[in-house]
Chain A
Amino acid sequence: DAGVTQSPTHLIKTRGQQVTLRCSPKSGHDTVSWYQQALGQGPQFIFQYYEEEERQRGNFPDRFSGHQFPNYSSELNVNALLLGDSALYLCASSLKGTLTFFGQGTRLTVV
């Protein structure tokens, strides 16, 4: 079992650009959540997908959007990147309230 896998590992983008991050959940998991972790802070919940629909959303602007595919994998899209979007983006998967497992994250740097 590969666990939660994310790609890419690192990414550098320019202000104003758009970025797509990808996540494959742990085998058997049907719920995917995304978190943003700024340096020195705890992760902050962005949104959660279940059955290809956004079920919960944190306090993030509409520039942050996502998608879940029929195979439960997910994408996080961020438009009009700001310097403040530089962070570690973590994907997590779970199965209906059971343990939540995290991927290794994607380090996004906006310059």
Chain B
Amino acid sequence: SQQGEEDPQALSIQEGENATMNCSYKTSINNLQWYRQNSGRGLVHLILIRSNEREKHSGRLRVTLDTSKKSSSLLITASRAADTASYFCATDAKGGKLIFGQGTELSVKP
């Protein structure tokens, strides 16, 4: 079974706009990771945020974590057509077993 929900399930924006995806989970975690997947192939690791961190940045990516609400968000700024992909959050509660949400399908139109 999936850990939680991702919202929205699908998002369509224009190039240059910002994209925000949200993830909620159910149990206590050690860390939360965000991944990108293009066309049903392998997952590309984007960013890891630990349970004692509240915000993390990597290039155009900004991730927040609210452990009291058991939620996280991924913000992609100044989106590009190449950002079109599915985005997944995954929680790690114990020893590297990742539990994924169902993902957000992002479409960035040029």
A contacts, CB < 8 Å to B: 4, 31, 33, 35, 37, 39-45, 48, 55-56, 58-59, 88, 90, 92, 94, 97, 99-105, 107
Contact = CB atoms under 8 A, between A and B. Distances in A.
Contacts of B42: 4, 90, 102-105
Interface of B: 1-2, 30, 33, 35, 40-45, 48, 88, 90, 92, 94-103
Given A41-B102, A42-B100, A43-B88, A90 B94 contact: no
Contacts of B1: 59
B43 A45 contact: no
A55 B95 contact: yes
Q: Which of A37, A55, A97, A100 has the most CB atoms of chain B within a 10 A radius of its CB?
A: A100
A55 B90 CA distance: 19
A92 B98 CA distance: 10
Nearest to A88: B40
Given A88-B40, A102-B35, A43 B100 contact: yes
A101 B95 contact: no
Contacts of B30: 97
8 contacts: A43-B43, A45-B98, A48-B95, A48-B97, A90-B42, A99-B33, A100-B33, A100-B96
- Which residue of A42, A59, A92, A104 has the most chain B CB atoms within 10 A of its CB atom? A42
